[in-house]
Structures are given as structure tokens and as C-alpha cells.
């Protein structure tokens, strides 16, 4: 990946700090703190209700349900960034698939054809690039970040959109992460539950690559 080139799209978000490994780590910490800040009050309320009056069990159970649902909703939002859309022109998609395959190595090409996600190793971690977003698995495979980012031309077939995003990522990885909208950060297991079976395979492959 180039370290000198800068994505022109950065000009559209001048208020954003350019992404660095340190800023990604801080963002992950903020997401954890934000989630805990939402969950702990419900857990505390459920505990207090049961200690004060066991009859309040239904209300305490509702509090526990909220404590579980909130992180799940965040993970669902993160999973949405790599949900595929059906190609409207199957012939164009077949051509685009071939062109995208030329950008990938053999293993990555086969993985993309099975899962719809292109694996790319970068300085910030291991990426999985979809047609409308990307996942970033950090080194060690213990945390994943979800980014929503698209290609302006909605008429392009899915593989063409993936190719555009992949080339942007290779041109300026930090700029790509800066321009993209951050949708979720958390444990891979929590995100994995909300992914399709194909995307789960890709996430597992990215986690293995992040351990190397």
C-alpha cells in the first residue's frame, strides 16, 4: 500500500483527524466505555430490584434484556456494512468479478467468490472489503471495527464497487479509514453472530490472518 498518496475524498471531511493506529485503539476504547455505560445501569437496576423486592422479577428481567439487546443492536449495525445486495445485471457482475479477481491473490480470490468479501492485509490490520463497507480486524484478532463507505455510482455491479474500494484502500489506507463512517467496534464473536454464514467464513479467515 502506498504511504505517500492521499485520497482526494479527504477534502470532504476536513474536520476528521487522520486515522492512525493510536486513534483506532482510542476509538475501540471509547466504544467499550460507551457500551458499558449503557449496560451497567440496567444491570445495576436489575440487581437492586431483586434485592429490594423479589416480586419485581419481571421488571428486573426486562432490565437484563435491555442490557443484552443494546450491544446486540450495535453489532447488528456493524454487520450491516457488509451485507451484500443482489446484482441487477448478472452478466455485468460476471465481468466485474473477473476484473476484481485480477486484483487479488489466489486464496483471496477464492475467498471473495465464496463470501463476497475481499481480504486485504494492511498496516492497520486485516481488512474485509465489501460493496458498501469494510471490516478491519486488528492485529491479534481480538477486536473488529466496522466501516460504512460506498462508491458514488450506484449502477456499478457489486464486484466493481468492491474493486473501487479496494483500490482506494491500497492507495491510502489511513485516508480510507478516515473517510469511512465508523459503525461499530467490539469483539469479533459479538459481530460474528450477526453476519451471514458466508461473511462469518471471511471474518474467521481475517482473524487467522491477523494472528500471523
Q: What is the mean pLDDT of each run of 10 residues along the chain (212 residues)?
A: 75 92 95 92 90 86 92 94 75 84 93 95 96 95 94 83 94 96 95 94 96 86
Cβ atoms of 64 and 42 within 8 Å: the answer is: yes
- In the beta sheet, which residues pair with residue 207? none
The reported pLDDT for the residue numbered 93 is 82
pLDDT of residue 96: 85
Q: Does residue 103 lie in a domain region? A: yes
- 122 within some domain: yes
Query: Is residue 2 situated within a structural domain?
Result: no
In 7-164, DSSP assigns E strands to 118-121, 126-129, 133-137, 144-148
**What's the pLDDT score for residue 2?**
47
Domain coverage including residue 179? 9-212
Please tell me the total count of domains within the chain.
1
In a domain, 1, yes or no: no
**Inside any domain, residue 18:** yes
Residue 97 lies inside a defined structural domain of this protein? yes
| Residues 134/116, Cβ–Cβ less than 8 Å | no
Amino acid at each position: 500500500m502506498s504511504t505517500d498518496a492521499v485520497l482526494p475524498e479527504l477534502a470532504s471531511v476536513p474536520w476528521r483527524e487522520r486515522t492512525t493506529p493510536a486513534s483506532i485503539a482510542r476509538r475501540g476504547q471509547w466504544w467499550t466505555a460507551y457500551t458499558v455505560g449503557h449496560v451497567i445501569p440496567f444491570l445495576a437496576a436489575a440487581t437492586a430490584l431483586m434485592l429490594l423486592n423479589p416480586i419485581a422479577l419481571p421488571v428486573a428481567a426486562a432490565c437484563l434484556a435491555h442490557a443484552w439487546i443494546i450491544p446486540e443492536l450495535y453489532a447488528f449495525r456493524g454487520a450491516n456494512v457488509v451485507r451484500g445486495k443482489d446484482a441487477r445485471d448478472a452478466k455485468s457482475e460476471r465481468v466485474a468479478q473477473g476484473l476484481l479477481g485480477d486484483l487479488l491473490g489466489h486464496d483471496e480470490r477464492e475467498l471473495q467468490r465464496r463470501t463476497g468479501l475481499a481480504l486485504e492485509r494492511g498496516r492497520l490490520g486485516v481488512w474485509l472489503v465489501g460493496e458498501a463497507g469494510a471490516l478491519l480486524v486488528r492485529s491479534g484478532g481480538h477486536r473488529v471495527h466496522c466501516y460504512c463507505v460506498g462508491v458514488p455510482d450506484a449502477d456499478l455491479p457489486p464486484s466493481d464497487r468492491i474493486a473501487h474500494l479496494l483500490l482506494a484502500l491500497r492507495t491510502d489506507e489511513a485516508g480510507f479509514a478516515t473517510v469511512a463512517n465508523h459503525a461499530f467496534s467490539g469483539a469479533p464473536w459479538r459481530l460474528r453472530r450477526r453476519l451471514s454464514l458466508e461473511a462469518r467464513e471471511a471474518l474467521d479467515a481475517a482473524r487467522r490472518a491477523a494472528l500471523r
